[in-house]
Structure 1
Amino acid sequence: MSQVKSSSLGYPRIGENREWKKALEAFWSGKLEEAAFLKQLETIRLNHLQLQKQAGIDLIPVNDFSYYDHILDTAAMFGVVPERFGYTGGPVSVTTYYAMARGNKTASASEMTKWFNTNYHYIVPELKGITPALTENRPLIAYREAKEKLGIEGKPVIVGPYTFLKLSKGYAASELATVAAQYVPLYAQVLRELEQEGVQWVQMDEPALVTDVSDADLALVQSIYAQLHEAAPKLKLLLQTYFESVQHYAAIAALPVQGLGLDFTAGAEKNLQQLESIGFPQDKVLGAGVIDGRNIWRADLQERKALLARIAKVVPNDRLIVSSSCSLLHVPVSAALETALPAELAGALAYANEKLEEIAVLATALNEGEAAVKEAFDRNAAALAALAASPSRGRASVHAAVASIDAQPSERKAVFAERQVSQKERWQLPFLPTTTIGSFPQTAEVRQARQQWRRGDLGEEQYRVFIKEQIQHWIKLQEEIGLDVLVHGEFERTDMVEFFGEKLEGFAFTKNGWVQSYGSRCVKPPVIYGDVQFSKPMTVEETVYAQSLTSKPVKGMLTGPITILNWSFVRSDLTREQVAYQIALALAEEVKALEEAGIEMIQVDEPALREGLPLKREDWEQYLNWAVLSFRLSTSDVKDTTQIHTHMCYCEFHDIIDSIRALDADVISIETSRSHGELIHSFEEHTYELGIGLGVYDIHSPRVPEVEEMTSMIKRALNVLEPELFWINPDCGLKTRGVDETVASLRNMIQATEQVREQLAK
């Protein structure tokens, strides 16, 4: 009798102790030769496969491992390398691969943007002028490695052609079918070679199918998969969707593939409704994504088992695969090291390895009965009950404030035009004022001091003196460079969200909860497990000290409520809207504390506002309404002369420009240098009448931009934006950059600004 299979859709790359990150950075710095580097990555990759095998996973993904990013991998596989990198064909070298991701001395990096509505960033393929060719069959190489070295019959994972093209740039929307005609034969070749190798299952990731898919795009998808089936008719293709309910369910379920993967965590209600009302093809298997691949909480195994039983009424067990909802790339590796957390919290955590166990337990329960895994079910129920009973979830005053949210201040006392007059008189800033986004380089010395302080090797007072020395040095340096509005540098902060979570009630911090954000950049999101509440001022001491060192204004630097929400692992017993309001009300207290201490320029960053957008446009309005309200709850109860700034990261702004305006921030800075032209085009179509700074250079690349590059960017922006409202700033914070390149880049930025000022004054 055929049984339920278990599957993972992908495994974290970074390693339990971030071995992957350390290897990349050692190679980039020249401390590790290429051959040794590649050997280290192979060891990490094989270890990950072995872990999944030991967990009892039947269908183990291969080719999900990456040297940087899986979309960049796909681009490299098809020779999608922009001309500026000097590529001449054949397999893409490691040097060229990383140049595309990070830039080099002669070529700027490719654009980077968010992977759907997650905090992972991918490198955007540039298709313009490219004649694609299969440079090497990466899924086949990964399959052979797993089989030959570990005896694993792997399931190659490939980014599907529709998703790959939809996430690429360099062609008009009307040209999609024409571009697809270039790439589908290459995909067909990949699949044909996998079929010839004897591969059993291939996971074709098509998360773009959960977005708004037009009728024309649907017809294209049908054509694509008909061609792929014809190329490799004996290969079992699992068309995998995730992050939401699939669009055009009936048509997608009818595609000539052998399996369809659906997310039963995000978009679960709609996917389940479609499954039950429309049915499921009898010639296909269903990949049931019932274990959440994006959050860190233990699943309620009884509830998940009941869901699977409901699904089994439509799709019997012999055609069912129990899996994670998406790749486990978005969660940390192992919760085994989290020994310092409160017991009720530690017991409720499930990282990637624990989620693999949950998948295997559910599959066993379906195949052998719950009695076979009773201990696991009992342990699970006890852990969830302990978390629910935590006193941190019962702060009555917090719940009362959220219940009366309409009574909280959420509008500035004066409109922007009136505030602008008051602020101009108050601040006396020059034309085209210059500033930075907040952070300055976190040098090895800074990181070492923080580690010593956390270990107790450096006393509290010694550490405070050290931080003040860093602030003093960079205030002086900013004045020498010629910046108009200064920042204290954030040397006391490890991460822009973690820092605030450590000082607010309701948060917890893990020891090993690292996840990949982009490249080797890993973040350790806070865990919001209780009610969020303000305790005491969090940023006042450092900001006031910085202001005491200069006559120029120093901005207070806060992270906004939606970014804290979106960049944290959020409790699942409340709605995200309710948690956002809790955070917003707590931050409002910090804004008041800064203003009362004399800090009247306050930046409340919301780089993650757009990434929280639902993937279906029909759901946008509801999210944007409470997201904007949350920001305004944090920032509205201030004087007219207090200037509220905010910052946003890479994203497409034109479709949420009204919501950005509704934030009512006095100044917004936007991270745009890798896609500057696209954003300028947005402002050619939409009027923006508040203060704005478009990032004039890319801080994610180590290259120092030339003055001429920045003057060109500034001039183009001034063609469509009001010069009196325009600010000059880098793309983002400078935490990850080196000191020398930071200083050189900022000097060039000031020189570019002065040139434009002189030209416009003539």
Structure 2
Amino acid sequence: MGGDGGRGGARVSAVTSPATTAPSGGAVPGAVHTLLPTTIVGSLPKPSWLAQPEVLWSPWALEGDALIEGKRDALRIAVQEQTRRGIDIVSDGEQTRQHFVTTFIEHLSGVDFDRRETVRIRDRYDASVPTVVGEVRRERPVFVDDARFLREITDRPIKWALPGPMTMVDTLYDAHYKSREKLAWEFATILNEEARALEDAGVDVIQFDEPSFNVFFDEVKDWGVAALERAAEGLRAQTAVHICYGYGVTANNEWKASLGSQWRQYEESFPLLQRSSIDIVSLECQHSHVPMELIELVRGKKVMLGAIDVASEVVETPEEVADTLRRALAFVDADKLIPSTNCGMAPFPRAVAAEKLSALSAGAGIVRDELA
């Protein structure tokens, strides 16, 4: 579906572009010239004055105009912390949203958040979720203003995450379409609208979060990857798909404990993604049981490799990060490797998350020097 052609020109490679200067001689925002550019996959801890610390999806502590201002201040802090810790491709750290899926869905019509149903999320745990009651539509931009603000406060490449179509479907009760596939295609169209607007706002990498790809293998084959490609169709920005094993919460930890000594779920989706139009494949690696050789299945794609564990507050040493990256280089070319975190770090104390960012950057620096 969505090929390499963009809207009116060749696709931009935000993470491998050659050195470029603006007409005035200054650096062009969005260009990165570093081998092994570092980034984070999802969330960072929020300040205590914005939301309760070390709690996933905590309610906001502010309201009205104070909340708007507080979110922007938190975003500034997240950018400053990533920059001073050596992160090359900066994200918002999800400072302006509570949940990586439902915050996007809240802005769509056709979904009733007061009508709740209990569903099984990713075949792992039960949750009370909103209900699809009519045709889903994006009436207005969702994250575009925040992304434009992020673009204004940093000259580094920026990455923005959106939920993937299948994971959106799996976070709702559908009383209207009554077909996971039909609803996924509707969401894919909506996501593409938002992604194009994010690209116009200056976003260099658009990431789609699809943890459901590690669970619903038949659907991934039948329509999941195709719906993901529809969400990314026509974009000039780099596109990424993030498939992880989730935050280090009880339900996820119990599920992971049942997977045995080797986690081979990526074997189902990686061959399909290798043939897809998606540019970057993100996977969990550090302290997981994912066999490193599975990276070979996406040979030719850029690999956003999780070298920081998000299920433990123990901070990796730079050498531990470097060792993970060295092992990965047997299966991915150095110019296609993007060191990152396994997943988001919202439940961590802020100091722990900051130290993990420093370890990621330092570990990448060790390997970068070795390659040079």
TM-score, normalisation: structure 2:
0.81
Residue 108 of structure 2 is aligned to residue 497 of structure 1: no
5 Å-filtered alignment, 1:471-490, equals 471-490=75-94
Question: Are the aligned partners of 1:439 and 1:734 in contact in 2 as well (CA < 8 Å)?
Answer: yes
Q: How big is the shift at 1:510?
A: 4.6
- Flag structure 2 segments of 5+ consecutive residues without an equivalent: 21-30, 53-57, 246-262
Residue 32 of structure 2 is aligned to residue 428 of structure 1: yes
Q: In structure 1, what residue type is equivalent to 2:69? A: V
Work out the percentage of aligned pairs sharing the same amino acid: 24
5 Å-filtered alignment, 1:167-566, equals 410-413=2-5, 419=11, 424-425=17-18, 427-447=31-51, 450-453=59-62, 458-459=63-64, 461-510=65-114, 525-566=129-170
Residue 345 of structure 2 is aligned to residue 734 of structure 1: yes
Q: How big is the shift at 1:718?
A: 0.7
Cα distance change of structure 1 residues 598 and 443 upon mapping to structure 2, 3 Å threshold: closer
Q: How big is the shift at 1:429?
A: 2.9
Cα distance change of structure 1 residues 744 and 515 upon mapping to structure 2, 3 Å threshold: farther
- Between Structure 1 and Structure 2, the one with more helix by share is 1
Question: Are the aligned partners of 1:501 and 1:507 in contact in 2 as well (CA < 8 Å)?
Answer: yes
Question: Are the aligned partners of 1:635 and 1:644 in contact in 2 as well (CA < 8 Å)?
Answer: yes
Cα distance change of structure 1 residues 696 and 637 upon mapping to structure 2, 3 Å threshold: same
Question: Are the aligned partners of 2:32 and 2:157 in contact in 1 as well (CA < 8 Å)?
Answer: no
Cα distance change of structure 1 residues 551 and 523 upon mapping to structure 2, 3 Å threshold: farther
Partner SS state of residue 757, structure 1: helix
Cα distance change of structure 1 residues 429 and 570 upon mapping to structure 2, 3 Å threshold: farther
Q: How big is the shift at 1:654?
A: 1.7
Aligned residues: 332
Q: How big is the shift at 1:582?
A: 0.7
Question: Are the aligned partners of 1:539 and 1:556 in contact in 2 as well (CA < 8 Å)?
Answer: no
Q: How big is the shift at 1:545?
A: 0.7
Q: How big is the shift at 1:697?
A: 1.9
* 1:5 corresponding residue in structure 2: none
Partner SS state of residue 36, structure 2: coil
Q: How big is the shift at 1:419?
A: 4.8
Q: How big is the shift at 1:594?
A: 1.1
Cα distance change of structure 1 residues 683 and 646 upon mapping to structure 2, 3 Å threshold: closer
Partner SS state of residue 446, structure 1: coil
For the residues of structure 2 that align with 1:647 and 1:688, how far apart are their CA atoms? 16
Question: Are the aligned partners of 2:204 and 2:238 in contact in 1 as well (CA < 8 Å)?
Answer: yes
CA RMSD, 1 decimal: 2.7
Q: How big is the shift at 1:526?
A: 3.7
For the residues of structure 2 that align with 1:624 and 1:635, how far apart are their CA atoms? 17
Q: How big is the shift at 1:671?
A: 1.7
Which of the residues 308, 311, 322 maps onto 1:711?
Answer: 322
Question: Are the aligned partners of 1:667 and 1:691 in contact in 2 as well (CA < 8 Å)?
Answer: yes
Which of the residues 694, 706, 718 maps onto 2:305?
Answer: 694
For the residues of structure 1 that align with 2:298 and 2:208, how far apart are their CA atoms? 23
Partner SS state of residue 235, structure 2: coil
Partner SS state of residue 132, structure 2: strand
Residue 235 of structure 2 is aligned to residue 644 of structure 1: no
For the residues of structure 2 that align with 1:517 and 1:421, how far apart are their CA atoms? 35
Partner SS state of residue 527, structure 1: strand
Partner SS state of residue 608, structure 1: helix
Structure with higher Rg: it is: 1
Residue 227 of structure 2 is aligned to residue 630 of structure 1: yes
Q: How big is the shift at 1:543?
A: 1.3
Residue 267 of structure 2 is aligned to residue 675 of structure 1: no
Question: Are the aligned partners of 1:443 and 1:738 in contact in 2 as well (CA < 8 Å)?
Answer: no
Cα distance change of structure 1 residues 451 and 419 upon mapping to structure 2, 3 Å threshold: closer
Instruction: Give 4+ residue runs of structure 1 displaced > 4 Å after superposition.
Output: 418-423, 510-518, 521-524
Higher relative contact order (CA 8 A, sep 6+): 2
1:219-261 alpha-carbon deviations (Å, 9 max, x no partner)? xxxxxxxxxxxxxxxxxxxxxxxxxxxxxxxxxxxxxxxxxxx
Q: How big is the shift at 1:513?
A: 6.6
Residue 368 of structure 2 is aligned to residue 757 of structure 1: yes
Question: Are the aligned partners of 1:501 and 1:526 in contact in 2 as well (CA < 8 Å)?
Answer: no
For the residues of structure 2 that align with 1:565 and 1:413, how far apart are their CA atoms? 28
For the residues of structure 2 that align with 1:522 and 1:542, how far apart are their CA atoms? 32
Q: How big is the shift at 1:746?
A: 1.0
1:527-576 alpha-carbon deviations (Å, 9 max, x no partner)? 33322111111011111111111110111221111111123233375221
For the residues of structure 2 that align with 1:549 and 1:435, how far apart are their CA atoms? 17
Which of the residues 567, 587, 591 maps onto 2:171?
Answer: 567
For the residues of structure 2 that align with 1:711 and 1:515, how far apart are their CA atoms? 41
Question: Are the aligned partners of 1:704 and 1:745 in contact in 2 as well (CA < 8 Å)?
Answer: yes
Partner SS state of residue 645, structure 1: strand
1:93-130 alpha-carbon deviations (Å, 9 max, x no partner)? xxxxxxxxxxxxxxxxxxxxxxxxxxxxxxxxxxxxxx
For the residues of structure 1 that align with 2:120 and 2:286, how far apart are their CA atoms? 22
Residue 267 of structure 2 is aligned to residue 654 of structure 1: yes
Cα distance change of structure 1 residues 420 and 496 upon mapping to structure 2, 3 Å threshold: same
For the residues of structure 2 that align with 1:598 and 1:760, how far apart are their CA atoms? 31
Partner SS state of residue 206, structure 2: strand
Q: In structure 2, what residue type is equivalent to 1:555? A: K
- Flag structure 1 segments of 5+ consecutive residues without an equivalent: 1-408, 614-619
Cα distance change of structure 1 residues 528 and 736 upon mapping to structure 2, 3 Å threshold: farther
Which of the residues 607, 631, 641 maps onto 2:211?
Answer: 607
Partner SS state of residue 731, structure 1: coil
Cα distance change of structure 1 residues 527 and 612 upon mapping to structure 2, 3 Å threshold: farther
* Deviates further, 699-708 or 745-754: 699-708
Q: How big is the shift at 1:595?
A: 1.6
For the residues of structure 2 that align with 1:412 and 1:501, how far apart are their CA atoms? 28
For the residues of structure 2 that align with 1:633 and 1:674, how far apart are their CA atoms? 33
* Deviates further, 439-448 or 596-605: 439-448
Q: How big is the shift at 1:450?
A: 4.8
Q: How big is the shift at 1:706?
A: 2.1
For the residues of structure 1 that align with 2:294 and 2:242, how far apart are their CA atoms? 17
- Between Structure 1 and Structure 2, the one with more strand by share is 2
* 1:743 corresponding residue in structure 2: 354
Cα distance change of structure 1 residues 754 and 737 upon mapping to structure 2, 3 Å threshold: same
Q: In structure 1, what residue type is equivalent to 2:200? A: E
Question: Are the aligned partners of 2:138 and 2:190 in contact in 1 as well (CA < 8 Å)?
Answer: yes
1:55-104 alpha-carbon deviations (Å, 9 max, x no partner)? xxxxxxxxxxxxxxxxxxxxxxxxxxxxxxxxxxxxxxxxxxxxxxxxxx
Q: In structure 1, what residue type is equivalent to 2:351? A: D
Partner SS state of residue 558, structure 1: strand
For the residues of structure 1 that align with 2:151 and 2:12, how far apart are their CA atoms? 22
1:683-730 alpha-carbon deviations (Å, 9 max, x no partner)? 35x351110022112102222122222111111001121111001001
Cα distance change of structure 1 residues 612 and 442 upon mapping to structure 2, 3 Å threshold: farther
Question: Are the aligned partners of 2:271 and 2:298 in contact in 1 as well (CA < 8 Å)?
Answer: no
For the residues of structure 1 that align with 2:44 and 2:201, how far apart are their CA atoms? 23
Cα distance change of structure 1 residues 623 and 470 upon mapping to structure 2, 3 Å threshold: closer
5 Å-filtered alignment, 1:53-68, equals none
* 2:254 corresponding residue in structure 1: none
For the residues of structure 1 that align with 2:33 and 2:130, how far apart are their CA atoms? 37
Q: In structure 1, what residue type is equivalent to 2:243? A: M
1:396-444 alpha-carbon deviations (Å, 9 max, x no partner)? xxxxxxxxxxxxx633317xxx857685247333000100013111344
Residue 160 of structure 2 is aligned to residue 581 of structure 1: no
Q: In structure 2, what residue type is equivalent to 1:708? A: E
For the residues of structure 2 that align with 1:421 and 1:462, how far apart are their CA atoms? 37
Partner SS state of residue 673, structure 1: coil
Q: In structure 2, what residue type is equivalent to 1:692? A: V
Question: Are the aligned partners of 1:566 and 1:612 in contact in 2 as well (CA < 8 Å)?
Answer: no
1:715-754 alpha-carbon deviations (Å, 9 max, x no partner)? 1001121111001001001122110110111111111111
